[in-house]
Amino acid sequence: MNTMNHQWQRFTLKQKLSRYAVYLVLIMAMVQSIQSVEVIPEFFFDAPEQMADMFSRMWPIDFAYYPVTVHDAMIETLNIATLGTLVTLIFALPLALMNASNIVASPWVHWIARFFLVSSRSVNSLVWALLFVSIFGPGVIAGVLAIAFRSVGFVGKLLGEAIEEVNMGPIEALRATGASWMSVLLKGYWPQILPAFFSIVLFRWDINVRESAVLGLVGAGGIGVVLSDSMNLFEWQRVAVALLSIFAVVIVAEIIVVNIRKRLI
Amino acid sequence: MAGLSTSKEYENPFKRNWVSTGIWALVGVYLVYSFNAMGLTWDRFSQGLGHADKLLGRMFPPNFDRWELLLSGLAESLEIAVIASVSGIVLSLFFGLFAARNLMPNWVSVPMRGFIALCRTFHPVIIAILFVKSVGFGALAGILTLIVASIGFIAKLFAEAIEEISLKQVEAIRATGAGFVSVILFSVMPQVFSRFIGFSVYQLDSNLRNSTMVGIVGAGGLGGTLFSAFQRFDYDFVAAILITIIALIMLGEFLSNIVRNIFR
């Protein structure tokens, strides 16, 4: 008879309690933050007016400025993104191999690889750019290295996961023929991770196009330099051109990547 | 010895793949072109490596003397991240619902999808610049920036998750005569809520990272402290800030893993 009166519940008591604990902590953090954050309310209520003012200054858009500087800067931005993505591979491939448990079994190597991957992801690309600008001086090289160092964590992590998911059958078959370590990598693992590899690299390239557009704000080359220069001179109509061209390039890059990835997978 | 004779009918299983060879050749050509186009030379690179040595020398040991400044920047970053995440998550819940094509008529979902796409297109830094110009320096610009970034990410993925739900349960709830809100609460949300939490936790993590960065353009938080330390060449303080940021982000990842396990 007990089953008749049994009340079905989706979650256990412990699950419920821990969920409520998360909600509670979040609400407490929110209340605490709102009380202590320094926000001037007048600025907040003034915001729509100021935004409208800013956009009205952008009009009419100064399209004549595009061929003067924006075009070259845009090409430079694309080059930074592409070259940065290629340089990433030099670091990301060994780290991905070190991070994959079916290639290297030692936990020490995993920890070393993971340390590099996590620190690459933790430091924002703008911060990497600041570091490299102070090393190499303002210019493209700082941008390329910033993009490269930032992407290592992303590419290395996803690539390592792709390597761990390969079918071990062909690899054992190759090993049984007495193939060398390099041959097993090239003819066993590589063909299997090829689609994942290209899709990860393209995905990262898409992100890098967005990121390289802002690196110029700290002096690392590309369209960001034009953007920050025109902004410092209050040339809002030129700012609008730069923003519009970034918008267009980002959209085109995304469309290209989505279409190639559709065919790959 | 028929079994051992090699017949020529077998093709080489490891034959060259001309498509991928072509791609690699293109990559090589591109490398040469881009190095020329951007004027990258080995000279400049090796010169920089000398500077790197000097820079690293000045970064160590990290200088935690001005920990009060560090702590106040850190607190502001955390506040920005928390406020922006909570408001962004709540807004995305509604925006995601409105953008789902299988629940909403076209005249609601199409403009909403456009708005979400617009939020996604620009890098947070560019949005931060625009907000700094319009609402002034400080935490408010950072909060607004990260809210926009959160909407762009969570609302988009949430709308896609809603579009993948099974409509049978929606029909079942509708058949009981439930109103629109009840249909959403009892048939749609149970199917997508765990994924929504997943996106939100990920975005909380990424807001934490970005809150340490928006300060570089003046939108409050630890980034501002970092940028001014860079400009004053206080590289040992820079090292201290960077260590703090990395520690904060690792802590954030640890916490978000716990939350993910709770909501699994």
Any idea where the domains of chain A sit in the sequence?
66-264
Q: What is the pLDDT of residue A120?
A: 87
Q: Assess whether pLDDT exceeds 90 at residue B146.
A: yes
Q: Assess whether pLDDT exceeds 80 at residue B150.
A: yes
A189 vs chain B: nearest CA distance in angstroms? 13
Q: How far apart are CA A200 and CA A184, in angstroms?
A: 22
Low-confidence ranges of chain A (pLDDT < 70): 1-5, 265
Using an 8 Å CB-CB cutoff, list chain B residues near A246.
122, 126
Using an 8 Å CB-CB cutoff, list chain B residues near A75.
37
**pLDDT, average across residues B229-254:** 86
A207 vs chain B: nearest CA distance in angstroms? 9
Q: What is the pLDDT of residue B7?
A: 58
Inter-axis angle of helices A140-164 and B42-59, nearest 10 = 80
**pLDDT, average across residues B250-262:** 85
Q: What is the pLDDT of residue B91?
A: 93
Q: Give me the residues of B, 161-220, that contact A with CB < 8 A.
A: 209-210, 212-213, 216-217
Contact B20 A194 (CB under 8 A): yes
Confidence of residue B119 (pLDDT cuts 50, 70, 90): confident
B236 vs chain A: nearest CA distance in angstroms? 13
Q: Assess whether pLDDT exceeds 60 at residue B1.
A: no
Q: What is the pLDDT of residue B5?
A: 58
Using an 8 Å CB-CB cutoff, list chain A residues near B143.
37, 39
B175 vs chain A: nearest CA distance in angstroms? 23
Inter-axis angle of helices B124-135 and A190-215, nearest 10 = 20
Per-domain residue ranges of chain B: 67-262
Q: Express each pLDDT in B50-90 by its tens digit.
A: 778 888 888 788 888 788 888 888 888 889 999 999 999 99
Contact B45 A141 (CB under 8 A): yes
Contact B242, B227 (CB under 8 A): no
Residue among A147, A23, A38 at smallest CA distance from A88: A147
Contact A208, A147 (CB under 8 A): yes
Q: What is the pLDDT of residue B95?
A: 92
**pLDDT, average across residues B150-167:** 89
In the A/B pair of chains, how many CB contacts fall below 8 A?
Answer: 153
Percent of chain A topping pLDDT 90: 16
Pick the CATH number of B67-262 from 1.50.10.20, 3.40.50.2300, 1.10.167.10, 1.10.3720.10: 1.10.3720.10
CATH class, range A66-264: mainly alpha
A24 in contact with chain B, both atoms CB, cutoff 8 A: no
Q: What tokens were used for B196? A: 């929504």
Contact B34 A19 (CB under 8 A): no
Q: How far apart are CA A52 and CA A46, in angstroms?
A: 10
Q: What tokens were used for A16? A: 């419920």
Q: How far apart are CA A23 and CA A18, in angstroms?
A: 9
Write the CA distances from B80 to A6, A101, B87, B210, B220, integer angstroms.
46, 38, 11, 10, 8
